Homo-oligomer: A and B are copies of this chain.
Amino acid sequence: MKLDDKDQQILEYLQQDSKMTNKQLSMKLDLSVTAVYERIKRLEREGIISKYVALLNPEKVEKAFTVFCQIKLIQHTRNYLTRFEAEITSLPEVLECFHVSGEYDYILKVLVKDMAAYREFMVTKLTTLDHIGSTQSTFTIEKVKNTTAIKL
- Give the interface of A toward B (CB within 8 A): 1, 3, 11, 14-19, 46-58, 60-61, 63, 66, 68, 85, 88-89, 92-102, 104, 106-107, 111, 138-152
Residue of B nearest to A92 (CB): B151
C-alpha gap A47/B111 in the complex (Å): 18
B15 x A53 contact (CB < 8 A): yes
**Which of B52, B60, B85 contacts A54 (CB under 8 A)?**
B52
Assembly stoichiometry (copies): 2
C-alpha gap A1/B59 in the complex (Å): 12
B101 x A138 contact (CB < 8 A): yes
B88 x A145 contact (CB < 8 A): yes
> What are the residues of chain B within 8 A of A1 when measuring CB–CB?
60
> What are the residues of chain B within 8 A of A52 when measuring CB–CB?
17-19, 52-55
> What are the residues of chain B within 8 A of A51 when measuring CB–CB?
16-17, 54-55
> What are the residues of chain B within 8 A of A3 when measuring CB–CB?
61
B11 x A56 contact (CB < 8 A): yes
Residue of B nearest to A136 (CB): B102
**14 A-B pairs with C-beta separation under 8 A:** A14-B53, A15-B55, A15-B56, A16-B51, A49-B54, A50-B55, A52-B55, A53-B149, A93-B151, A94-B145, A95-B149, A96-B146, A100-B141, A107-B140
